[in-house]
Structure 1
Amino acid sequence: MKANEFYSLSKELGSEYLLPLGFKFNNGGWYLANDKYMLAFELANISHSQSIFLKYLTVVFYNYVKREDFQAMQPMQHADHYGPVQINPMQLPEYKQWQYTNAHNSRGETSAYFPLYYGGLIEAEPIKQGFFVKKQWEMPKGLLRGWITERGADIVTEEEARELLKKAMINTAEYVFKWADTLTSHEIIRQIEENGDDWFVEKEWVKAYKLHQASQLQMSQK
């Protein structure tokens, strides 16, 4: 299965499980935006993972908290770069046990990502440059298996990959709104302060959420 086929599979399965809930298809993934927050089912790339037919499945929560260091995000483009709150969709049934993870330091399966190898050709598709044909990227066959398993994914058939993506979407459809309802500003601050890595970006998020809390309190007192 090639990347475009995997995106088509995401569109097919998402149309069955996520579209009826209000999600929209975007660049291989799915997003939902309402008055309170945005949610995204994202097929993320980490460390050139797309070159070895590997995507990191993640569900992202973002609740419009303003930060000083970037402009307001466009609806769910590169969603996992904008919100601190992510969950591995395979762990959504246990959403009450969710703990914040610094997803930007993640590799392999974590509470934020589920790495999924979707198969396909070992060599990248050739691209034409004038009269020449050039390989975009090529992985020696002997190294491919190790590169995939080192990143936390299992070697699975295309049918198994389909079933895993389907399971991730079913979990999202059934549990994502329940999970989102637990993510108050107070809870997000607590999670980052208790489980974060003291990363400067995390500090900016805590600052933003505390300002958001203060703003909400002022509005409620008017």
Structure 2
Amino acid sequence: MTHTQFGPSWSEDRIGSMLTACGIEFRHTDDPAATAADPLARQQIVAWFQGRMEFGPRALGARSLLADPSTGEMRRRVNMIKRREQFRPFGPSVLSEYVPDLFGRPIDAPFMSFTLPTVDNTAIIAATHVDGTSRPHTVNPGTGLYRRLIEQFHQFTGTPAVLNMSLNSGWEPIIAAPEQAVAFLFSSPADAAIIGHHVIINKP
């Protein structure tokens, strides 16, 4: 296996029709990766809904809640959205070539399966547990839109990773459909959702 995106997907026309029918204000973007990287670099939290849904226990860049991993405050904010205890760990999605810088050695973990001690947690402090470990999701070159998002975020901030959590809150299952992503956005303090090529801002 090279990926786990075996779940359902929705066409751009289907997403746009749903948003229009619900009277939701949105704009179109030609580049979802760059569009997401900008608010992330400005300390905003983004619901990311792209392509086919992941199969399995981890969010791996198809149904993800994303944030800047380099500030401790982001851990508190994401925990508030997720409605979970402060002691529970997080994981970063990391550009694979920077894994040795953060964890001391190269490792291939495309399914976020391994917990490792960090050697430089300043870049991923929000994704580092109290015991000094983290569970990285390594993202290899040429693996698509999510990789380009992290590359763009790295260009903006110098941080080669994003904080990556499953797109849901509380004890709800991971979001599968675009309607659920919209409901999540407007019932949470998340700042924006990018659903396919559609951008929705959660206004105060």
Output the TM-score relative to the length of structure 2.
0.29
Higher normalized helix content (fraction of residues):
1
Output the TM-score relative to the length of structure 1.
0.28
Structure with larger Rg: 1
Q: Which has the higher contact order (CA 8 A, sep 6+)?
A: 2
